[in-house]
A and B are shown apart, each in its own frame.
Chain A
Amino acid sequence: MTLLSVESLTVSTQAGAVLVDDVTFELDRGGRTGLIGESGSGKTLIALSIMGLLADGLGASGRVLIDGEDLIGRSDRALTAYRGNSMSMIFQEPMTAMNAVMRVGRQVGEPLRIHRGMTAEEADAHVVTLLTAVGIDQPERRARAYPHELSGGQRQRAMIAMALACGPSLVIADEPTTALDVTVQAQVLDVLAARLDTSNAALLLITHDLPVVAGITEDLLVIDDGRIVDRGPTRRLFDAPQHPYTARLVDAVAPMSRSGTIPPKDPPPPSDDVIITARGISRGYTLRRTRVGEPAPVIQAVDDVDLDIQRGETFGIVGESGSGKTTLARLLIGLNRPDSGSIVVDGIDLTTTRNLRPLRRLAQMVFQDPMGSLDPRLRVGDIISEPIRSLQIPGDRAARVAELIEAVALPADSADRYPHEFSGGQRQRIAIARALAPNPKILVADEPVSALDMSVQTVTLDLLAGLKADFDLTLIFISHDLSVVHRICDRVVVMQSGRVVDRGTADEVFRQPSTAYTRQLVDSIPRLDGTTPT
């Protein structure tokens, strides 16, 4: 029984650029289909075309049939009968997708008022049931709250409740868990699946993250550059991908997420050559007072942390958002000073030394956002040679720049070009080349691959591992992504609320988690085979 039928859907700009090209697929009543592709592939545009919510300036042609009725070309007013009623949508970023100045309950209950003719009071009463069903505790209180007073997970649960309020036959979820931490991600996916089971709604799940669709969908559509390049049952596509593009996507999934088991890993050779020693370091941020007379609240971003990082190892710092891992990185590299405790980097005491110039030659950093970490007004050659100039390192700068560009495998003519001419992965290489310019001994990489597509992540990680050997580096690798950390790091610490809660070799921490929190983190990783590891 076909619910949704998309026929030759094409989305193009007014200027004529084709963004979605001749897409055709069907979705059965109660069926669950995943739509996977990398960023910019056009997957969100397909969702918005079905909903009739494309931005101004984009036009859709072809047919979108819901229960046999074509929605393309209908007026905004005519489509309102479907939206929120027989079809609804869950968006990626629940903070901006919700109205910041309207109470959560009112927003969740709004479809009921629009389509079921409920009064505000009737809807409010029903909202409590809806919020309870998606696992929100204290639903009466949360309904009266504003979006900013809820956690990210709670907000996304509320979005699910909102989408399912009128019992739609089709739910489109666009990257519903991408903005969430891994532990929350698992819970939200569970809630979504459970609610769909109850309501028998069909699901179109859009994501770039393959394991997310693994446990929840039956069929897959693989989209590349606006076209569907592969389709079939989820299991078959993941277990034995035929199409080369699908195979590439599956290959890019970390081993830890691909199979149900975490592969064993050789422990690093024991060493007592310590390059960074941190003892009892803390760093807090003072918030503004909220009440007269009470002391201003302080957030302990890093709370009494001890570290010993050995020369030549890859040291991982893992944690969810807000765990303090970035603050810790900035302390280790002398960008901020700790409130208390001591940090000694290769003999330089960061807490007592005023002039940190020697440290600047010793330790460099690579940042998360490849767009924000390069000055758009400078040529790549100038970006890479800036540290050499600043630190007054003698030698032929042009030759050194050429050498670095080659080391990170960028095209030889890159030096004369501007950052915007490069892709995200290439920009991250530029940032790496800049960090290597003063020939540092220590490289701190803060979420260096999180903003990149899966296939680019693999290549970048391999590059980092190679450079570490070539440049004789100690690599400090910070990430929220356990599979990436497991793949690249020798020893790791796990952070939660500013504290180190677990530490050891990568093997010990991930294969035999000693604390409940680490176990929860490991268990939350979505697997390509839809199971959890033993």
Chain B
Amino acid sequence: MRWRRLNLAIGAGIVLVVVVTALVSFAWTPFDPERISSTERLLGVGVDGHLLGTDQFGRDVASQIMVGSQTALFVGILAVGIAVLVGIPLGGLAAARRGWTEDAVMRTADVIYAFPPVLLAILLVAAVSPGVGPAMVAIGIAYIPIVARVTRGAALSIFELDYVAAARTYGRGKTFIFVRHVLPNIASVLIVQVTVLFALAILAEAALSFLGIGAQPPRPSWGRSLRDAQTFIALSPRLAVWPGLAIAFTVLGFNMLGDGLRDALDPRLEVRRL
């Protein structure tokens, strides 16, 4: 029991730290994160006030990590927002209508589900242009089937219940029933799933930016920092450590928050990560 609380507390704490860091970085960072300085290249940890040293362009690593949290949270909100706004109504529709509508919605979801998020991002970026926006729209679309399936599965079991039948006997329509009776009762499932998707979206953005099709300069991104670090991996492996730790720390926070919420709300929930 104590362990469960621990998950929730640590997760919430980490997420809070990331959010505060992002907010602070809008107003203040130790150095200008994009300032290039040929005289301050590859400084060590703590040298000349550079908390985590500098990269091969002389930029302050700590400042870059700070502003990178903006992108991480932005992509999480964008991708998960798209998935939730489209996925929940679709899943609800499938559960409420059954029959032909359900088949059509779920079969389409199945096909989209066969597109790995990264592949969908590659396609969309190829069609539009590289950038964090198109990449995250693609990730959001890729997560729609996950949200729709989870919503449908949870909603189906609620639609089977007698309080739904009762609501129909006193004249409520299916939309009203979904919003008033079903949604509140599947909220815990969705909250937990959304938290985990947030973590997955941050990982996806890092991967896409690492590949060069996500965040484009001058937008700061942990994934892009790793891309820069890769070229110097033999000379300065240290540069690959900090952004990676920042990603892992943030993702760990969201995952633990998700686990903690699951244990607090409904310990037997299954969360999709694949």
**A interface footprint on B150-171 (CB within 8 Å = 1, 0 otherwise):** 0000000000011101111111
**B interface footprint on A351-378 (CB within 8 Å = 1, 0 otherwise):** 0000011001001110111001111110
- Chain B residues near A324 (CB, 8 Å)? none
Query: A431 at the A/B interface (Cβ < 8 Å)?
Result: yes
B170 contacts which of A369, A372, A387 (Cβ < 8 Å)? A387
Q: Is the CB of B172 within 8 A of A390?
A: yes
Query: B227 at the A/B interface (Cβ < 8 Å)?
Result: no
- Chain A residues near B181 (CB, 8 Å)? 375, 377
Query: A140 at the A/B interface (Cβ < 8 Å)?
Result: no
Query: A335 at the A/B interface (Cβ < 8 Å)?
Result: yes
- Chain A residues near B163 (CB, 8 Å)? 372-375
**A interface footprint on B176-201 (CB within 8 Å = 1, 0 otherwise):** 00000100110000000000000000
- Chain B residues near A363 (CB, 8 Å)? 169
- Chain B residues near A367 (CB, 8 Å)? 162, 165-166
Closest to B169 in A: A365
B165 contacts which of A365, A387, A438 (Cβ < 8 Å)? A365
Question: Nearest Cβ in chain B — how far from A404, in angstroms?
Answer: 14
Bound CA span A431–B167, Å: 11
Bound CA span A390–B171, Å: 6
Q: Is the CB of B169 within 8 A of A335?
A: yes
Bound CA span A368–B171, Å: 20
- Chain B residues near A434 (CB, 8 Å)? 166
B185 contacts which of A365, A376, A390 (Cβ < 8 Å)? A376
Question: Nearest Cβ in chain A — how far from B176, in angstroms?
Answer: 8
- Chain A residues near B162 (CB, 8 Å)? 367-369, 372-373
Q: Give residues 372-412 of A contacting B (CB, 8 Å).
A: 372-377, 386-387, 390-391
Size of the chain B interface, CB-CB below 8 angstroms = 14
- Chain A residues near B167 (CB, 8 Å)? 386, 390
Query: A281 at the A/B interface (Cβ < 8 Å)?
Result: no
Question: Nearest Cβ in chain A — how far from B150, in angstroms?
Answer: 19
- Chain B residues near A438 (CB, 8 Å)? 170
Q: Give residues 122-163 of B contacting A (CB, 8 Å).
A: 161-163
Once A372-B163, A375-B163 are accepted as A-B contacts, the answer to whether A386 and B170 lie under 8 Å apart by CB is yes
Closest to B161 in A: A372
Q: Give residues 181-239 of A contacting B (CB, 8 Å).
A: none
Question: Nearest Cβ in chain A — how far from B271, in angstroms?
Answer: 22
Question: Nearest Cβ in chain A — how far from B178, in angstroms?
Answer: 13
A377 contacts which of B165, B170, B172, B185 (Cβ < 8 Å)? B185
Query: A89 at the A/B interface (Cβ < 8 Å)?
Result: no
Query: A333 at the A/B interface (Cβ < 8 Å)?
Result: yes
- Chain A residues near B172 (CB, 8 Å)? 386, 390
Question: Nearest Cβ in chain B — how far from A455, in angstroms?
Answer: 23
Once A373-B161, A375-B181, A377-B185 are accepted as A-B contacts, the answer to whether A391 and B166 lie under 8 Å apart by CB is no
Once A373-B163, A374-B163 are accepted as A-B contacts, the answer to whether A364 and B170 lie under 8 Å apart by CB is yes
A360 contacts which of B161, B165, B170 (Cβ < 8 Å)? B170
Bound CA span A367–B164, Å: 11
Question: Nearest Cβ in chain B — how far from A328, in angstroms?
Answer: 15
Q: Is the CB of A390 within 8 A of B170?
A: yes
Q: Is the CB of A373 within 8 A of B184?
A: no
Bound CA span A375–B184, Å: 10
- Chain A residues near B184 (CB, 8 Å)? 375, 377
Question: Nearest Cβ in chain A — how far from B2, in angstroms?
Answer: 13
Closest to B184 in A: A377
Question: Nearest Cβ in chain A — how far from B264, in angstroms?
Answer: 16
Closest to A392 in B: B171
Bound CA span A211–B169, Å: 37
Question: Nearest Cβ in chain A — how far from B189, in angstroms?
Answer: 14
Bound CA span A330–B166, Å: 11
Tell me which of B161, B162, B170, B172 has the highest count of chain A C-beta atoms within 10 A of its own C-beta: B170
Closest to A446 in B: B162
Q: Give residues 301-335 of A contacting B (CB, 8 Å).
A: 330, 333-335
Q: Is the CB of B185 within 8 A of A375?
A: yes
Bound CA span A437–B43, Å: 76
Bound CA span A357–B168, Å: 10
Once A368-B162, A374-B163, A375-B163 are accepted as A-B contacts, the answer to whether A360 and B169 lie under 8 Å apart by CB is yes
Tell me which of B161, B163, B165 has the highest count of chain A C-beta atoms within 10 A of its own C-beta: B163
Q: 26 A–B contact pairs at CB < 8 A?
A: A334-B169, A335-B169, A364-B169, A365-B165, A367-B162, A367-B165, A368-B162, A369-B161, A369-B162, A372-B161, A372-B162, A373-B163, A373-B166, A375-B163, A375-B184, A376-B185, A377-B181, A386-B170, A390-B167, A390-B171, A390-B172, A391-B170, A434-B166, A435-B166, A437-B170, A438-B170
- What is B's interface to A at a CB cutoff of 8 Å? 161-163, 165-172, 181, 184-185
- State the 10 A-B residue pairs at the shortest beta-carbon distance, nearest first: A387-B170, A367-B162, A373-B162, A360-B171, A372-B161, A377-B184, A375-B163, A372-B162, A390-B171, A390-B170
